[in-house]
A and B are shown apart, each in its own frame.
Chain A
Amino acid sequence: NQAMARRYESILTRKEVNINQW
């Protein structure tokens, strides 16, 4: 349950990283 929550929470961070990368 918490693993899924962490993964969901990380969506915004990942978005930022992708935008920076590309």
Chain B
Amino acid sequence: SLTYDANSKLLALEDASFDELMNLSQINKLTQNLVGESNPNFTPQPRETSTVMIKKLFETGLQQTKQHKFPEALKSISLALEMSQRKRAPWEAFAVQLQEVQFMLKNRVDLCLVQGRFVDALQDLEFLQNTGLTTSDVFIRKTDALIKLQQFELAKVECERGLSLDPSNVKLKALHMESTRRLAEYNG
């Protein structure tokens, strides 16, 4: 039987099947976000207050980058990203949210690469690829990160895919030669 807890505002179901549980968790998540919504006339438009906060943090990050304060810049931008994940309601326009995240991630990737944090950069680059950003600069950076991580087979696979989408890219061609050479060395 379905029960409703008036305090937490959550629904629960005894002996729920897998599909029912999924449904319930979706409803509960929306409910929790609704409860936290202060504006009674909310719309899918991204909340202005959140946007301002995120933008401010991001701009701080950019400033610090200009000043070559890379670790601090990384922190600021990461915080901005965290905000964009936490402070946005599930019903806010996804397209806007995604663009926001992707834009910030691109900056974070470069900051990570500059500081030699290759595994972190790789994660962000994979996120960008998974969410539809398949431009050459993503492949260039990912190949570079993989080479630095000594994953030469994976690097070769990446730059070959990059070249398939942009066959005349000079940088990718150079990276392909490098990853092939390093792979041959790796194999004695």
Contact = CB atoms under 8 A, between A and B. Distances in A.
State if A and B touch, Cβ cutoff 8 Å. Answer: yes
Contacts of B29: 2
Nearest to B120: A15
A1 B126 CA distance: 18
A18 B119 contact: yes
B131 A2 contact: no
A19 B92 contact: no
Contact of A11 (B94, B97, B123, B149): B123
A1 B97 contact: yes
A8 B124 CA distance: 9
Contacts, number: 35
Interface in A1-22: 1-2, 4-5, 7-9, 11, 14-15, 18-19, 22
Contacts of B119: 15, 18-19
B149 A22 contact: yes
A7 B149 contact: no
Interface residues of B, number: 21
Nearest to A19: B119
Q: Which of A2, A5, A8, A9 has the most CB of B within 10 A?
A: A8
B151 interface: yes
B85 interface: yes
B115 to A, nearest CB: 15
B107 to A, nearest CB: 16
Interface of B: 29, 85, 90-92, 94, 97-98, 101, 119-120, 122-124, 126-127, 130-131, 149-151
Interface of A: 1-2, 4-5, 7-9, 11, 14-15, 18-19, 22
Given A18-B122, A18-B123, 8 more contacts: A2-B29, A4-B97, A4-B98, A9-B85, A11-B127, A14-B123, A15-B119, A19-B119
